[in-house]
Amino acid sequence: MSLFSKKLLQWNEHFNTRQMPWKGIKEPYKIWLSEVILQQTRVEQGWNYYEKFIENYPTICDLAKAQDEVVFKLWEGLGYYNRCKNLLFTARYICDKLHGKFPEKYEEVLDLKGVGSYTASAICSFAYNLPYAVVDGNVFRVLSRIYGIEKPIDSIDSKKFFTQIAQENLDKKEPAFYNQAIMDFGATVCKPVNPNCANCVMTGICEAHNRGIVNLLPIKEKMLTRKTRYFTWFILSVKNELFIHKRIQNDIWQNLHEFYLQENEEKFLWNEEKANTFIYNQFSKSPVFISISKEFSQQLTHQKIKTIFIFVELKHKPDSLKSGMWVEKDTLSTLAFPKIINDYFLSPSL
């Protein structure tokens, strides 16, 4: 078992307090139902829907016998109604053709309509304790950061690569516990926007943290080609020095300098409290002063960039920032930056 897996299971035993109504159950019908609901839905939203479905249809054959319109009404608000169609089709197939018995082999589960490799792995590991690693967004993010993998998680080749790593780390004796642990860890600690690095048990072995690139991982090809992208640049200041680094990824503004970047898939509304929490979680340091700019935008040929700048004054330099350099404020004019950052320089904010 890898050191990461050992630490993960220790974290799961001593610190994981995440609760969900389907967590720990072994009944494949309920696991399948929860996974279908959560395919395009956040846990907070799907929770009530799951409980309503179980209340109305406690067994898979109860669901199979239900009228389409009644089930669709219960599904109302979840969207992606094809999931609901597949749910009914599969319930009726299992009830009518398999005499109500859910398949127990991975290949047979994968053959069910609306079930992909992730859902099949979840059902087989949680219900039957079979050694199949789940690979969802949480798992991609955790593995990308732990191992410092700079491959786009949404490309076909990279998905195979991450699946292989996930399978290698899987605790083959207790796959259900491991799979739930890594998903919970990604949802509560190694979060997308505000990972809690300051209180993370993995900091000693996390490549992203040790190289100061937690904010850059995971990489997504789709994000790089979005028509509108949302940047937040944190201008980290210690005494008269600012932290900058050079953009070396195969992306816009290659080889130009920038500040500490957090890119979100949608607009994120920052305030002083959220910025303070972000900085502490990233660097285990509390800001002395924070100032949030107005929104700046720049239209490129195929993309529009919208950004805000958050000036953060710190007492000491974070130890984890190793991918860039600290420069005197007066030297910024001698370095090459994207136009949108130069527009910020011309504003009275800095």
For range 100-117, the mean pLDDT: 95
Pair 161, 299 in one domain: no
d(CA 79, CA 73): 11
Region for 229 from its dihedrals, namely left if φ exceeds 0, alpha if ψ lies in -120 to 50, beta otherwise:
beta
Residue 212: inside a domain: no
What phi and psi, each to the nearest 5 degrees, are found at residue 8?
Answer: -65, -45
Pair 266, 120 in one domain: no
Strand 257-258 to 241-246 pairing: antiparallel
Neighbours of 48 (CB within 10 A): 12
Q: Residue 194 has what pLDDT? A: 87
Residue 25, both tokens: 């159950």
328 is catalytic: no
Pair 270, 315 in one domain: yes
d(CA 238, CA 315): 6
Tens-digit pLDDT profile for residues 234-247? 999 999 999 999 99
d(CA 141, CA 105): 28
Residue 206: inside a domain: no
DSSP 3-state assignment of 127? helix
Pair 166, 38 in one domain: yes
Report the candidate in 36, 26, 47, 35 with the shortest Cα–Cα distance to residue 88. Answer: 36
Instruction: Answer yes or no: is pLDDT of 220 > 90.
Output: no
Tens-digit pLDDT profile for residues 315-338? 999 988 888 999 999 999 899 999
Mean pLDDT of the chain: 92
Residue 9: inside a domain: yes
Pair 261, 115 in one domain: no
Instruction: Give strand pairing partners of 235.
Output: 311
- The domain total for the chain is 2
Q: For the domain that residue 275 is a member of, what is the CATH number? A: 3.90.79.10
Q: Residue 60 has what pLDDT? A: 96
Residue 201: inside a domain: no
d(CA 233, CA 310): 6
Tens-digit pLDDT profile for residues 126-164? 999 999 999 999 999 999 999 999 988 888 888 899 999
Structural domain that includes position 233: 222-346
Pair 141, 79 in one domain: yes
**Residue from 27, 35, 69, 241 carrying the catalytic annotation:** 35
Q: Residue 350 has what pLDDT? A: 56
Residue 205: inside a domain: no
Pair 74, 146 in one domain: yes
Q: Residue 191 has what pLDDT? A: 94
Pair 71, 176 in one domain: yes
Q: What is the DSSP letter of 220?
A: -
Contact by Cβ (8 Å): 164, 122: no
Q: Please, which pLDDT band fits residue 349 given cuts at 50, 70 and 90?
A: low
3-state helix, strand, coil in the chain (%, to 5): 45, 15, 40
Tens-digit pLDDT profile for residues 168-203? 999 999 999 999 999 999 999 999 988 999 999 999
Pair 250, 335 in one domain: yes
Q: Residue 132 has what pLDDT? A: 97
Q: Which residue has the tokens 């979060």?
A: 191
Residue 193: inside a domain: no
Residue 204: inside a domain: no
Pair 127, 265 in one domain: no
Pair 171, 275 in one domain: no
SS (H, E, C) 236-301: EEECCEEEEEECCCCCCCCCCEECEEEEECCCCCCCHHHHHHHHHHHHCCCCCEEEECCCEEEECC
Q: For the domain that residue 52 is a member of, what is the CATH number? A: 1.10.340.30
Q: Which of 144, 164, 188 is the last residue of a domain?
A: 188
Q: Residue 259 has what pLDDT? A: 96
Q: Which of 166, 188, 210 is the last residue of a domain?
A: 188
Tens-digit pLDDT profile for residues 248-273? 888 889 889 999 999 988 898 999 99
Residue 324: inside a domain: yes
Pair 256, 133 in one domain: no
